[in-house]
Structure 1
Amino acid sequence: MTESPATKPADGEARPRVKNGLKPERNGLVKSLRRCHERQPKRHCHPEEEEVHAAALNGGLYNRPFLESFEETPMLVAVLTYMGYGILTVFGYLRDFLRHWKIERCHIAREKEEQKDFVPLYQDFENFYTRNLYMRIRDNWNRPICSVPGAKVDVIERASSDYNWTFNYTGRVVQEVINLGSYNYLGFAENTGPCATSAAEVTAKYGVGVASTRQEIGNLDGHEEMEKLVAKFLGVESAMAFGMGFATNSMNIPALAGKGCLILSDELNHASLVLGVRLSGSTIRVFKHNNMQNLEKLLREAIVHGQPRTHRPWKKILIVVEGIYSSINTPGEWMAG
């Protein structure tokens, strides 16, 4: 592989060879410490601050490198977590065996007598997991709040007398709890601040809704202004805005692609995108999250080999990614602050 001017070292020093232009990290990205450059003498760098940097492949093909900062899970924490789940699973099966032979009489992980005649809602292992693992910590999930769902919330305290099968409210409120499970990415849920002020002004000007689709009489100048701004930000010709996320993804993807088309989907895409991709009837291939090198490899193979068996060119190749990856796959969780 030859070096282009964009990738050749300027100071003449040899660089360590890396595969596909990347260091062999688990997430397929280049991991490097933040460094102080001579061009930025005022910037103070800390060695513990790290960045994940996707380097340009093939001599600057991606001239805007992808940056993502995150904190990796310590190995000790990961090992102890898996060990904890394994121990709970083993003891869960052991206690189920003892309950079957009437040796274990504790009702912590047993269904209530009045619930045994209902049709099971879960498969065997899901039922086992719910009773023996999730039920132990169920009081941490789905906790009701009594405040604005902002960065910090007020949580209503609950108590259980039947091992978390049912809950009763104590009347006490736990205040200033850090919110780790909200969709309030941009602060729209706040009742004070610039978002709330802007929302009040727009409501006074346009009303609370248009009560119609944009195709009929629901198109506003604000919609068009937002689309132009989004297109300018993304560097594309135009953009289209929809009013609902799940229906937009699940219903519009089948209109864009169908049989004979190929869809390349990020492995962490939202369930609405996954549903839309499946409903389209297209061939689906999944690439690693935010890994442009893996995506390019799949694109090259798709263009070279074409459709399976016939090797005809694909009618369309659609790449499906998200702008903001949500926490929909994880339950709402709260941590006292």
Structure 2
Amino acid sequence: MSTAASYLSAVSEADARARAHGGTPNSTPALSLSSSLTGSSEDTVLDDTGADVVDALLYPRVPPTSEQVFTTVHTEFGHCANEKYRFTSQHRAGTPYKSNPEQDPPYYIVLTTYLSYLMVICLGHLRDFIGKRMRPSRYKHLMAQNGYAALNSDFDSFYTRRLKTRIDDCFSHPVTGVPGRTIVLLDRYSPDYNVTMIPTGTRTRALNISSYNYLGFAQGKGACADAVEESVIRYGVCAGGTRLEGGTLDLHLQAEALVARFIGMEDALISSMGFATNSTIIPALVTKGCLVVSDEYNHASIRYGVRLSGASVRMFKHNDMQSLETLLREVISQGQPKTHRPWKKILLIVEGLYSMEGTLVNLPVVMELKKKYKFYLFIDEAHSIGALGPHGRGVADYFGINPRSIDILMGTFTKSFGAAGGYIAGNKALVDRLRLRGHSGTYAEAMAPPVLTQVIASMSSIMGVTIPVEKSSSPALPLLRASSVDTHVSEFEPECAYPGTAPVSALPVWMPLAPTLVDGSDGQMRLRRLAFNTRYLNRGLRKLGFITYGHDDSPVVPLLLFGPGKMAVFSRMMRTRATPIVIVVVAYPATPLVLSRVRFCLSAAHTKEDVDMVLTACDEIGDFLDLKHGAGERWPLQEIIDRAVELVNMPEAP
């Protein structure tokens, strides 16, 4: 809204309309069927383009009560007061870890998938052959001319031109606004088979199951947003605050100290880009004469960093501990190539949660191998930090393992924390060395103050904040003391305990402290809601008969589609439903050629009704596209919805 008065007026009008409905909701209402926004209306907190849109989509149907306080609009974060829809993400002690077994589809599915690619490839080559002779002007960039070589390789660009272009409407869709529980799509169409896209000028609000917004911190309202707003006022774009040498602010030091405390390590180093954290730090860890043992499904940033380092690299089968141990025995016994001298250093690099597969690293077995073979361990927790474990501290928290028994923990702030950048955590001597030798600290730009504030605020809301007896400089102190809330206490054993709360001295003195941020209740609620949504969708899809990969507690749920044509149709059918659903489809080269899939990304911002909607859509589209080829017991859709709590709390199959 342009002014505070207009905002309050809109709130009052929406409140009056909502009271006419009566009743008190326990959760955010489901998205309305009238979910399209047309014209040039602004995507504000209360978009008054029509009563139906305001009531059903942008504001709760009835106003909050004293027992139910909504601090955000429900398009960004769905509100759910039902405590049954909660779960704690934690591995059961004494039980071996295992992911859901990968299932093979029927032979006719594999055969038709290969035939589909064969047909598209043959037709593509035929079109290239004819087109270069009939319409050479369209192929100038692929043919040598005037003594110049072709600008692009004909062979290298074939997949993009002849396969990906056919389904380009499923990728890179322009959006606007906050990528929270819902997201607003800018509608477009193509008059030339996806070669160009033309905006229509209209917008569509859709349920967002495509963003890495695991804890729902992608919000324009709430405690974190208030803290970020205050930092912009105080620091501006690039100046202000207590500036240290090298472009470092006091906020950088506070953020690094808080990250180290959150992770459970001695020290941490933050970087302004997650990809660069891996690609610039790994060369500072290993060099020529060292060996990197890498999981075959490790992220591109890890592969790039290893190439830059000059170290030798050997890969083992994805999450296969027997393959890993066999490889370790071989490389240790053989030593360096040619000379057979012992390796200077052996570094095992794995990911905590593999975002394309939905699998977790088998950390208990890895730790046993570490004790036996004496290698260094580097874990990339880009997707697992904040999303796994009873305290949100990643895979070490999930498995109940002391984080300091791991040499290096890397993670990003772009997923669970709603910010940007990444971190490296370890012992102080190691981190101090990386500050000098890592390229990210020397050549990269420092993180901006608003981003740092978002990191600090979101981590604090998970940890909770310890308020001292006297802190007169905090204007919110009387309110915080009046809330009479208990601080979060770690349930870990002393030898692997995480610091329970963040001392208020570790936070900026000017940062506003909401009661829910101080007591950690907001963060714990988000962690438990994410765990419930994750298990519900994972298990619900399998009960419907779909083939899915990964672990029940993974917030990324890959559903196998196989055929390239089915991938495009699945995405379009989800997006064009009465209540549109935005998803991510993934194909070669990100996956093996015949293992195309859709990845659902769950969030704490989603309600149980949102997951019901996704299951309903998958059930209908799965029947239409013949996607239900999974083994095991099947339940009808309504039974899955009715028995959701029971389904989530079922123990894992032996």
Greater relative contact order, per chain length (Cα 8 Å cut-off, separation 6+): 2
Please give the residue correspondences for 1:194-205 in structure 2 after superposition, counting only pairs within 5 Å: 196=225, 199=228
Cα distance change on mapping 1:199 and 1:228 into 2, 3 Å: same
Residues 256 and 267, structure 2, Cα contact 8 Å, conserved in 1: no
Aligned to 2:112: 80
Aligned to 2:409: none
Q: Does 1:162 align with 2:188?
A: no
TM-score normalized with structure 2 length: 0.35
Structure 1 position 262, deviation (Å) = 0.4
Structure 1 position 78, deviation (Å) = 4.8
Aligned to 2:299: 270
One-letter amino acid of the counterpart of residue 276, structure 2 = A
Structure 1 position 64, deviation (Å) = 7.5
Residues 153 and 177, structure 1, Cα contact 8 Å, conserved in 2: yes
One-letter amino acid of the counterpart of residue 320, structure 2 = N
Residues 291 and 312, structure 2, Cα contact 8 Å, conserved in 1: yes
Q: Give CA deviations for 1:272-307 in whole Å, capped at 9, x if unaligned.
A: 211110111111111222233322222222222211
Structure with greater proportional helix content: 2
One-letter amino acid of the counterpart of residue 185, structure 2 = V
One-letter amino acid of the counterpart of residue 90, structure 1 = C
Aligned to 2:600: none
Cα distance change on mapping 1:167 and 1:268 into 2, 3 Å: same
Aligned to 1:8: none
Q: Does 1:313 align with 2:313?
A: no
Paired residue for 2:183, among 148, 153, 174? 153
Cα distance change on mapping 1:161 and 1:84 into 2, 3 Å: same
One-letter amino acid of the counterpart of residue 308, structure 1 = P
Aligned to 2:161: 131
Q: Give CA deviations for 1:23-57 in whole Å, capped at 9, x if unaligned.
A: xxxxxxxxxxxxxxxxxxxxxxxxxxxxxx9xxxx
Residues 279 and 301, structure 2, Cα contact 8 Å, conserved in 1: yes
One-letter amino acid of the counterpart of residue 273, structure 1 = I
Structure 1 position 113, deviation (Å) = 7.1
Q: Please give the alpha-carbon distance, in whole angstroms, between the structure 2 residues aligned to 1:154 and 1:73.
A: 37
Cα distance change on mapping 1:321 and 1:238 into 2, 3 Å: farther
Aligned to 1:93: 125
Q: Give CA deviations for 1:118-171 in whole Å, capped at 9, x if unaligned.
A: 975542223333332222222222110123223432211112222222221111
Structure 1 position 82, deviation (Å) = 3.0
Structure 1 alignment gaps of length 5 or more: 1-52, 54-61
Q: Please give the alpha-carbon distance, in whole angstroms, between the structure 1 residues aligned to 2:269 and 2:94.
A: 25
Q: Please give the alpha-carbon distance, in whole angstroms, between the structure 2 residues aligned to 1:87 and 1:155.
A: 33
* Aligned residues: CA RMSD: 4.1
Structure 1 position 244, deviation (Å) = 2.5
Q: Please give the alpha-carbon distance, in whole angstroms, between the structure 1 residues aligned to 2:217 and 2:339.
A: 51
Structure 1 position 221, deviation (Å) = 3.0
Alignment coverage as a number of residue pairs: 265
Q: Give CA deviations for 1:73-122 in whole Å, capped at 9, x if unaligned.
A: 744555433332221112222333444565xxxx8xx8737867797554
Please give the residue correspondences for 1:142-291 in structure 2 after superposition, counting only pairs within 5 Å: 142-180=172-210, 182-192=211-221, 196=225, 199=228, 217-218=248-249, 219-230=252-263, 232=264, 240-291=269-320
One-letter amino acid of the counterpart of residue 305, structure 1 = Q
Residues 183 and 326, structure 1, Cα contact 8 Å, conserved in 2: no
Q: Please give the alpha-carbon distance, in whole angstroms, between the structure 2 residues aligned to 1:78 and 1:208.
A: 54
Q: In structure 2, the residue corresponding to 1:246 is in which secondary structure?
A: helix
Cα distance change on mapping 1:205 and 1:165 into 2, 3 Å: same
Q: Please give the alpha-carbon distance, in whole angstroms, between the structure 1 residues aligned to 2:256 and 2:139.
A: 55
Q: Please give the alpha-carbon distance, in whole angstroms, between the structure 2 residues aligned to 1:71 and 1:194.
A: 42
Aligned to 2:485: none
Q: Please give the alpha-carbon distance, in whole angstroms, between the structure 2 residues aligned to 1:214 and 1:326.
A: 38
Structure 2 alignment gaps of length 5 or more: 1-90, 357-381, 383-570, 576-580, 582-654
Q: Give CA deviations for 1:157-207 in whole Å, capped at 9, x if unaligned.
A: 112222222221111222214443x34344332324565456557767887
One-letter amino acid of the counterpart of residue 261, structure 1 = C
Structure 1 position 243, deviation (Å) = 3.8
Residues 257 and 268, structure 2, Cα contact 8 Å, conserved in 1: no
Q: Does 1:302 align with 2:327?
A: no
Structure 1 position 261, deviation (Å) = 0.5
Please give the residue correspondences for 1:38-57 in structure 2 after superposition, counting only pairs within 5 Å: none
Aligned identity (percent) is 43
Q: In structure 2, the residue corresponding to 1:220 is in which secondary structure?
A: helix
Q: Please give the alpha-carbon distance, in whole angstroms, between the structure 1 residues aligned to 2:327 and 2:155.
A: 35
Q: Please give the alpha-carbon distance, in whole angstroms, between the structure 2 residues aligned to 1:72 and 1:192.
A: 43
Deviates more, 1:308-317 or 1:289-298: 289-298
One-letter amino acid of the counterpart of residue 321, structure 1 = V
